[in-house]
Structure 1
Amino acid sequence: MTTTPGRTASQAGDLIRQFNHDTIATGDGWQYPPNAYDAIGSLAYMVRMLPQAIEQTLHPVERTYAQRRVLVNGGGDPTPAVEELRAAVSQASAIALSLAGALDRMHSAASPLGLNTRGLPEFEDQG
């Protein structure tokens, strides 16, 4: 099966959906502050890559537009639609940068949090 950028993005969305399901309830691997710290770090990593991914979605349109090959449903000049797309991409990229900053801040805030294991049977010494 050939992978396309659209399919890859769809798979990433499916994985986030799975993450959402996995984190609804407490369970193995999702019950202590270090678990949240790890997940936040991974989300921050992913979101830091979003601005580039968002901006690169414009490449096929820009290339086709430069060749004067873009059509608009119903006819007409494609320039307003392309300009709107450019503006939306710019806004989405800026918002993704802001989200990445917030996630980095979350990751830093979660960093010093740990777990008091005293009295928890699963952490008692077996010695």
Structure 2
Amino acid sequence: MTTPTSNPARHPAKAADALRTFNHATLPGRPVPALAYPGTIYNAIGSFATLAHRLPQALDHIALALADLHQAGHLTADHGTPTQHTTTAVAALREAERLATALTDALERAHIASSPLGYCGPMPEDDDL
């Protein structure tokens, strides 16, 4: 049995919260945009690429754990059979793995393409200078 400190599901929940915070911080139309410079964009893309790169392994671990629970006979279902639900869930997780790999590839291409970009627009006024 998992405890609040050992429950591994808390980690993707934290990642989801962090993504929500990023989305709120980067809303378009702000007086001072959070994504005002190419370096910030480059770093964000790189971080998302790292996250996407790690998803297939995490999804594989979930699929293997679910299959092990099923094989051991430790699953029940409110409707249908455990086999039906396990088969569907594992197939969907395998599809998600493939899509996460494609997402990683696309983000790595975006990261490489944004690497040489620099900023040449106006610099904000700094009252301390």
The two structures have a TM-score, normalised by structure 1, of 0.83
Q: Is the 8 A contact 2:46 2:108 kept in 1?
A: yes
Secondary structure at the aligned position of 2:27 is classed as coil
Secondary structure at the aligned position of 2:9 is classed as helix
In structure 1, list runs of 5 or more residues that go unmatched.
Answer: none
Indicate the residue corresponding to 1:66 in structure 2: 71
Identify which of 7, 18, 22 aligns with 2:10: 7
Return the alpha-carbon distance in structure 2 between the equivalents of residues 5 and 47 of structure 1. 18
RMSD over aligned Cα, in angstroms?
A: 2.2
Return the alpha-carbon distance in structure 2 between the equivalents of residues 121 and 56 of structure 1. 47
Is 1:43 paired with 2:52? no
Deviations 1:96-118 (A, max 9, x none): 0000100001101101110126x
Aligned counterparts, 1:1-127, within 5 A: 1-25=4-28, 27=32, 30-74=35-79, 77-116=81-120, 120=123
Give the number of aligned pairs. Answer: 122
Percent identity for Structure 1 against Structure 2: 34
Offset, 1:59:
3.2
Offset, 1:63:
2.0
Aligned partner of 1:35: which letter? T
Q: Is the 8 A contact 2:26 2:34 kept in 1?
A: no
Return the alpha-carbon distance in structure 2 between the equivalents of residues 98 and 40 of structure 1. 15
The two structures have a TM-score, normalised by structure 2, of 0.82
Offset, 1:53:
1.0
